[in-house]
């Protein structure tokens, strides 16, 4: 996965903004949903080059942001954009890293989590829920399957591509396998979030708010 994003780094921001339906709007919309009080603490899962953080820091320049990403190159690009901001960047997988307990006012993830199954997401979301302070919440802006049938077809296609290329079941191959928004909400509720709502959609991208 990190190799894939290292290769796409050049022109990445322009590509995202020009080629994903509604991107110009949903990055700003996502930023506006995050807390904006002095020194609030935010966790960004799969922060990449920080497209969501550009909009967010414009609204809340004093935020303290922890960003996690697998790709060194993406994190280097992010760091160079915000030399004067309070950012802690961690290169690694959000599945493996500890997030702490009662640490963050909110968490956000944009266009990063659409490769994983419900079984993989539930423990991740439980860890995330625990890392949020009371009253904290998670804003998930991602790409979702239109129907259960599409969700299944994407999974089957991934299995087929892996088999053709001799990649084991546990090996990673970059092919989008989004859940439906309904299944994503189910995963968040099973992980312990108390209220989960889809706030808005732009084509296949929706924003889900999950409150602790
Ligand atoms: C399409 S980019 C989105 C980046 C940024 N949030 C944005 O919207 O521009 C997906 C990012 O998620 C990161 N990513 C994917 N799986 C990850 C994982 N398990 N742990 C940490 N980062 C991950 C990738 O390295 C990549 O930078």
**Residue 93 CB less than 6 A away from ligand 1:** yes
Same domain, 73 and 154: no
Q: pLDDT of the chain along its 212 residues, tens only?
A: 566 666 667 777 888 888 888 999 999 999 999 999 999 999 999 999 999 999 999 999 999 999 999 999 999 999 999 999 999 999 999 999 999 999 999 999 999 999 999 999 999 999 999 999 999 999 999 999 999 999 999 889 988 988 888 887 777 778 889 999 999 999 999 999 999 999 999 999 999 999 99
Q: Are residues 162 and 137 in the same domain?
A: no
Task: Let me know whether 21 and 105 are in one domain.
Answer: yes
Look at residue 184 and give its three-state secondary structure: helix
Q: Which residue has the tokens 């009253």?
A: 135
What whole-number distance in Å separates Cα of residue 24 and Cα of residue 160? 34
Which residue segment(s) compose the domain that 163 sits in?
147-175
CATH number of the domain where residue 87 is located: 3.40.50.150
> What pTM did the predictor assign?
0.94
- Classify 99 as helix, strand or coil: coil
**32 shares its domain with 116:** yes
Sheet holding 64-69, edge to edge: 86-91, 64-69, 41-45, 104-110, 132-143, 205-211, 195-202
Could you give the 3-state DSSP secondary structure of residue 160?
Answer: helix
Pocket probe mutation, ligand 1, options 11, 34, 112, 125, max atoms within 8 Å of Cβ = 112
Is any ligand 1 atom within 6 A of the Cβ of residue 16? yes
Same-domain pairing of 102 and 162: no
Q: Rounded to the nearest whole angstrom, what is the distance from the C-alpha of residue 135 to the centroid of ligand 1?
A: 26
Ligand 1 neighbourhood includes 142 CB (under 6 angstroms): no
């Amino acid at each position: 996965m990190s190799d894939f994003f290292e290769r796409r780094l050049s022109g990445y921001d322009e590509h995202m903004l020009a080629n994903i339906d509604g991107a110009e709007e949903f990055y700003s919309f996502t930023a506006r949903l995050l807390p904006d009080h002095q020194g609030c603490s935010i966790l960004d899962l799969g922060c990449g080059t920080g497209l969501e953080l550009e909009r967010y820091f414009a609204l809340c320049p004093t935020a303290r942001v922890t960003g996690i990403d697998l790709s060194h190159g993406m994190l280097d690009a992010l760091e160079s954009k915000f030399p004067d901001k309070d950012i802690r960047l961690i290169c690694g997988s959000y599945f493996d890293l500890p997030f702490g307990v009662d640490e963050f006012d909110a968490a956000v993830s944009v266009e990063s989590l659409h490769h994983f199954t419900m079984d993989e997401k539930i423990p991740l979301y439980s860890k995330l829920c625990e890392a949020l302070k009371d009253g904290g919440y998670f804003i998930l802006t991602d790409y979702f399957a239109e129907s259960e049938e599409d969700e299944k077809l994407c999974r089957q296609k991934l299995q087929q591509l892996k088999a053709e290329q001799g990649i084991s079941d546990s090996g990673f191959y970059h092919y989008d396998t989004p859940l439906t928004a309904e299944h994503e909400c189910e995963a968040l509720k099973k992980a312990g979030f108390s209220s989960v709502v889809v706030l808005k959609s732009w084509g296949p991208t929706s924003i889900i708010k999950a409150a602790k």
